[in-house]
Amino acid sequence: MTHPAGSKAAPWRVRARAARTGVYQYGRSEVDPDNKHGLRDTALVNVLRNDGTVFDEKSVRSFIGKPVTDDHPAAPVTTENWRDHARGTIMGAIRDGDYLAFDLLLTDAEAIAKVESGKRELSNGYSSDLEFGDFTAADGTKCQARQKSITGNHVALVDRGRAGSECAIKDVFAICDTLPTNLPDSLTQESPVPKIVLIDGLSVDVSNADIAATTITTLMTARDTANGKVASLETQVATLTAEGQTKDAKITTLEQEVKDAKPTPAQLRDAGKALLITAGKAKALGVTVSDDMDEAAIMSSTVSKQMGDAAKGWTADQIAASFAVLTKDAKVEDNGVQSLGSPINMSDGAAAWNDNVFQSAGVAIKKEA
């Protein structure tokens, strides 16, 4: 915790919650010591403190100017024992939601040192009237009594206060700006007038420093998380886009390879002619050629037959070169396709029927019965 005034020799001016609405628990001896209301056998008595009591203007004003003490004194603070107990002064008060907050001026070095060491919770010293009966708090808790007509005497620094850990001096300090002159306005409104700032386009109420710090941290965390998700999604989109482009390129390449691999009629004709020539040369050297052999197989069989073991381990290029030398003078039998000559046009009177055979252009065609 840092010193708000910048010097340990200077008094502290702080704002801190000191009371709240709701249910407080007291021992039976504190509430009904003589058992006038039949609470002797009740270990803890629920006492209701509602808005009308906590934020009553007369009650709140009764605290202003009263001392800040180190723990509760054994007796109420008066002018006679003020110097013995006062460690500071209550300068102002304001409503903070369901809490009553005091502007405190701490003037005692020892008390300030204790706050720095962790003694920060606050507990009000006061007198009040008790109304006994059956009461129900806003949260549904049943109460046996209700406070009214509170008159302040002091506010004490304690290790643990009855109002809870929220009624304490926090790490963030505020300069006292709530004076008795505007006290009624501060108590009648439901909550302090919000002080709004924009953070990343979002409105944040900074009138309460603790809430503002928590809200800002939450907003910044949410923003960073959202930005991280956006960056992750953008990366995924870029990856999918790149993968899609890669797939498109692969498809285009494959289509082109298929197109390039598809032989043209001329290529088929040339390949067939080359196969016939290679087969003819091999046969001329006495090599048996089967229908399932391609050019490479025919060449390999021919070279193997002619060269024997000398050709073992030769590459395709070496075999092709050897085949060319071996078959250079081979006489290839012409097994090509023979032409039938020019067609002869026939008419009904250009040929004669003879029994079951039709004679025309040297071709015999059997007549259907």
Q: Write out pLDDT tens, residues 74-100.
A: 999 999 999 999 999 999 999 999 999
The answer to whether 88 and 68 have CB atoms below 8 angstroms apart is: yes
Q: What is the mean pLDDT of residues 190-201?
A: 52
34-71 pLDDT per residue, tens = 888 888 788 889 999 999 999 999 999 999 999 999 99
Distance CA 83, CA 87 (A): 9
End-to-end CA distance of the chain: 123
Q: How many CB atoms lie within 10 A of CB 285?
A: 15
As a residue count, the chain comes to 369
Region 256-281: mean pLDDT is 80
Most confident of 197-201, 346-350, 362-366: 197-201
Spans of all domains in the chain? 12-192, 194-259, 265-336
pTM of full prediction above 0.75: no
Tens digit of each residue's pLDDT (9 = 90 or more) over 203-214: 566 556 666 677
CA distances from 57 to 98, 192, 204 (A): 15, 16, 29
Per the prediction, the chain carries an average pLDDT of 79
Phi/psi of residue 319, nearest 5 degrees = -65, -40
25: pLDDT strictly greater than 80 = yes
State the Rg of the chain over Cα.
Answer: 55
Q: Is the pLDDT of residue 182 over 60?
A: no
Read off φ and ψ for residue 252, nearest 5 degrees: -60, -45
Lowest mean pLDDT among 19-23, 47-51, 100-104, 321-325: 321-325
Q: Are 190 and 177 in contact (CB under 8 A)?
A: no
For residue 186, the model assigns a pLDDT of 58
> What are the strands of the beta sheet with 363-366, ordered from one edge?
353-354, 357-360, 363-366
